[in-house]
Structure 1
Amino acid sequence: MLLIKNGKIFTMVGDVIDKGDILIEDGKIKEVGKGIEAPNGCEVIDADGKMVMPGFVEAHCHLGLFEDGIGFEGDDGNEYVDPVTPQLRAIDGINPMDITFKEAHESGVTTAVTGPGSANVVGGQFAAIKTYGNRVDDMIIKEPVAMKIAFGENPKRVYNNQKKSPVTRMATAAILRETLFKANNYIKKLEKYKDDPSKAPEFDMKMDAMTKVMKKEIPLKAHAHRADDILTAIRIAKEFDVNITLDHCTEGHLIADYIKEENKDAIVGPTLSDRSKFELKNLTFKTPGVLHKAGVKVAITTDSPVIPLQYLPICAGMAVKSGLEEMEALRAITINAAEIVGIDDRVGSIEVGKDGDIVIFDGNPIKDIGCKTVATIIDGKIVYKSKE
């Protein structure tokens, strides 16, 4: 058991608790409040004068798939030879011993939603994992958590170089529609011949992976920067009645009212970077604030390794500087991120029954660049503690 005492607790779902306590038992939060007595044998952390938060949640990255400091040998984020690869699973490419995991949890990021890159129209299955551990099987929160798809320049560039489709936005949309249509038919045939296996369709690994999308068990996770690509993503999701999140959403501030009208969530970023391609020409930290004011639920992403994952709170702070409310910026890297990706039953806030993922800071991590992590706790275990 572990008891955190006397901290300034930001639960992210209610009022801030001054001089508050958190009791964790068997990896789960057992009690939150004031004046909690330490049970016999319980380890106690005195957080007096410290800011206590749920571990940060990164809603879109490629942690463990593009390994740090090496090239092809550690590049496992994209299967460049086929524009439709839904059968790929992030967990089979993640290296949890990469140094970026240590950097992440030492900075307070305890959960990462990680998966394939954006080379393909359909890239594969994302996983939500903890950022501490040696075996990915033991780190999983939810797998799969989403199916990656991509619009805009990236698929065009990759397959133009191979002189094969897609080389236009029209082809990208058509390939995605065809895949969704085939998945629908595959499900219908399975259902029609469920009592006569001899007539059932032959197992198709790609279509089997897509059934989770068609049944709304997981959403499409749409890489879309430009406004027209964002709207195309929404259009296709509506056509096939599937769930979708808008990832990157770089020009979301230009169409905020439409995104709100369609009741879609936005995972915004990476913004702490240069405008490396044409579709980023309107890149600005104002986007999260504009979307929030329009009523859109917003998460902030580093898209690690584009921005190293440990700088997630800095990205939230830059959004505050450009107009996003401070508490909303904190929500954007905790409870909002967890809700958008569908893992808020486990992480994203300090509530009884949720995972014991807690971070203690000596200041406000989105306001003070010199703020240090005092301790990181994942599943009730202290995985990092400052020596100072």
Structure 2
Amino acid sequence: MLIINGTVHTMEGLTIPGGYVDIRGDKIAGTGPMEECPKSWEGEVFDAQGGHIQPGFVDAHCHLGMFGDSTGIEGDDGNEATDPCTPHLRAVDAVNPMDRGFQEAREAGVTTVLTGPGSANPISGQFAALKTNGRWVDAMVLKAPAAMKLALGENPKLTYHERHEAPTTRMATAAIIRENLAKAAEYREKLERAAQDEEEDKPDYDAKLEALLPVIRGELPVHIHAHRADDMATGIRICKEFGLKYVLVHGTEGHLIPDLLAQEGAGVITGPCLTDRSKPELMHQSLETPAILQRFGVKVAICTDHPETPIQYLPLCAAMAIRGGMDPESALACVTIRAAELAGVADRVGSLAPGKDADVTVTSAHPLNWLSRMRLVVMDGKVVHGRL
């Protein structure tokens, strides 16, 4: 497939005012100005007619398919609020790819999502990176697990306060996370000793600790739900104690401590911004947060937290960051290449680089212009929305 005559946002540091995208099979083969476009072409051609061509959008944090659209408790599978430590829970075992949100994601050009459990538990479970096209979740998986979800602050407190069980304080939330990470480290040591010495007994199988092994080995990052500045500090403190890779999610008060987050090298997935200040943790919510964080050198992405903000409004959330002071190309990066980097899938998606998955969208105007229309969505080289 050849997509021609559009402004090409490669998201690799290059925007081509009048260019083309060359797709071979399910991969990007190349991009360039129209004067370099292949002269003899026998495949499908789509004329962007002066519109914009860019990678599919990436939502680096949502719960798509976990909380059923219009189904109530029957499709509510995002929070196992019966045990504060559930690292062995996997998003792929709950996602319903038939949920209408997947179609709405595709139609809006959102081609990749990180989806997983909610924030009821201090250790909530495993997120998965999925493509949004398909009927069988196993075939949609880009990476699973993609992250281990931790949650700090208000949500675990409220969940277990109602049950009169721990954690009902921030101290207990942090203690539960520490306790289980320490148990996982001990479990790893016992496994290693048993592997080296046949006289050593292997520990009894523990599904929770097995799930935490890649976390403490530094193989699987933790994504930390944290709105308040003090919760972000606690999350970073714990990760430094155990040598964990991490990304902060939401970061609502990040604009109050941007220099400190930059100093720590923290990445932040901000959002959702298209909501009211529905709880105390959101009292300092600001559209300026992504711009301020970027100004201080923090790597930033923007998410919907679907269903908090419906997935199809991811481009609008990025446009709101422009209203908050971010330049348009940086805002676009927050829902393409930066989101892919923080999600750990930038080797496959997020930019129009040769060899990456052919996930491409074509819009009538700049993709973050709310009056722009989505004309074509291509995933893995196949048209999933629009017509050639």
TM-score range, shorter chain: over 0.9
| Alignment partner, residue 89 of structure 2 | 88
Alpha-carbon distance between aligned partners in 2 of 1:26 and 1:209, rounded to the nearest angstrom? 36
Equivalence for 1:346: 348
Alignment match, 2:336: 334
Tell me the residue number matched to 2:20.
21
- Supply the distance in 2 between the matched residues of 1:373 and 1:27 (Cα, whole angstroms): 21
Q: Say if 2:193 and 2:200, in contact at 8 Å, map to a contact too.
A: no
Distance (whole Å) between structure 2 residues aligned to residue 216 and residue 127 of structure 1? 17
Gaps of 5+ in 1: none
The CA deviation at 1:386 is: 5.8
Moved over 3 A (4+): 38-41
Matches within 5 A, 1:93-108: 93-108=94-109
SS at match of 1:30: strand
CA distance in 2, matches of 1:315, 1:259: 22
The equivalences for 1:155-174 within 5 A come to 155-174=156-175
Deviations 1:335-361 (A, max 9, x none): 000111111000000000000000000
Alpha-carbon shift at residue 16 of structure 1 (Å): 1.0
2: distance between equivalents of 1:139 and 1:217? 22
Q: Which of 221, 237, 240 is residue 223 of structure 2 equivalent to?
A: 221
Is residue 2:287 matched to residue 1:288?
A: no
CA contact (8 A) 2:377 2:383 kept: yes
1:362 is matched with 364
The answer to whether the 8 A contact 2:247-2:266 is kept is yes
- Asked if the contact 1:60–1:302 (Cα under 8 Å) also holds between the matched residues in 2, the reply is yes
- Matched-pair contact (CA < 8 Å) for 1:3–1:38: no
Cα distance in 2, alignment partners of residues 55 and 345 from structure 1: 14
Match of 1:58 in 2: 59
Distance 1:77 1:320 in 2: 31
Gaps of 5+ in 2: none
Q: CA deviation at 1:43?
A: 1.0
SS in 1 for 2:333: helix
Cα distance in 2 between the residues matched to 1:307 and 1:38? 44
Counterparts of 2:323 and 2:127 in 1: how far apart (Å)? 31
Distance apart, 1:167 and its partner CA: 0.3
In structure 2, the residue matched to 1:258 is 260
Secondary structure, in 3 states, of the residue corresponding to 2:195?
coil
Match of 1:133 in 2: 134
| Cα separation, partners in 2 of 1:297 and 1:197, compared to 1, 3 Å | farther
The change in CA–CA distance for 1:197 and 1:131 in structure 2 (over 3 A counts) is farther
Aligned counterparts of 2:343 and 2:207: Cα–Cα separation in 1:
24
Q: Secondary structure at the match of 1:360?
A: strand
1:112 counterpart = 2:120: no
Which residue matches 1:243? 245
Q: Quick check: 1:128–1:141 contact (8 Å CA) kept in 2?
A: yes
TM-score by length of 1: 0.97
Deviations 1:15-64 (CA, angstroms, capped at 9, x unpaired): 21122121212201112223332766411111121100000000000000
Residue of 313, 316, 321 corresponding to 2:315: 313
- State the secondary structure of the residue aligned to 1:179: helix
Q: Match of 1:288, as an amino acid?
A: P
- In 1, the alpha carbon distance for the partners of 2:3 and 2:61 equals 30
Greater mean alpha carbon deviation, residues 6-15 or residues 55-64: 6-15
Distance in 1 (CA, whole Å) between partners of 2:262 and 2:90 is 31
Aligned partner of 1:190: which letter?
L
- TM-score relative to the length of structure 2: 0.97
Give SS of 1:194's match: helix
The answer to whether 1:145 aligns with 2:153 is no
Partner amino acid for 2:21?
A: I
Asked if the contact 2:2/2:43 (under 8 Å) is kept, the reply is yes
Conservation of the 8 A alpha-carbon contact between 1:19 and 1:48: no
For residue 301 of structure 2, the aligned residue among 296, 299, 302 is: 299
* CA distance in 1: counterparts of 2:387 and 2:25, whole angstroms: 23
**Secondary structure of the equivalent of 1:273?**
coil
Matched residue of 1:111: which SS? strand
Deviation at 1:198, TM superposition (A): 6.4
Once residues 109 and 246 of structure 1 are traced to their aligned partners in structure 2, the CA distance between those partners, rounded to angstroms, is: 22
Q: Any conservation in 2 of the 1:60–1:113 contact (CA below 8 Å)?
A: yes
Q: Which moved more, 1:289-298 or 1:25-34?
A: 25-34
Partner of 2:279: 277
1:208 corresponds in structure 2 to 210
The number of equivalent residue pairs is: 385
Contact 1:314 1:365 in 2 (8 A): no
Contact residue 27 and residue 355 of structure 2 kept, 8 A: yes
* Counterpart position of 2:31: 32
State the shift of 1:228 in Å: 0.4
- 1:229 maps to a residue whose letter is D
Map 1:194-205 → 2, pairs under 5 A: 194-195=195-196, 196=198, 199-205=201-207
CA distance in 1, matches of 2:128, 2:259: 30
Q: Distance in 1 between matches of 2:200 and 2:43?
A: 60
Please say if residues 130 and 140 of structure 2, whose CA atoms lie closer than 8 Å, have aligned partners that are also in contact: yes
Alpha carbons of 1:209 and 1:337: their partners in 2 closer, same or farther (altered >3 Å)? same
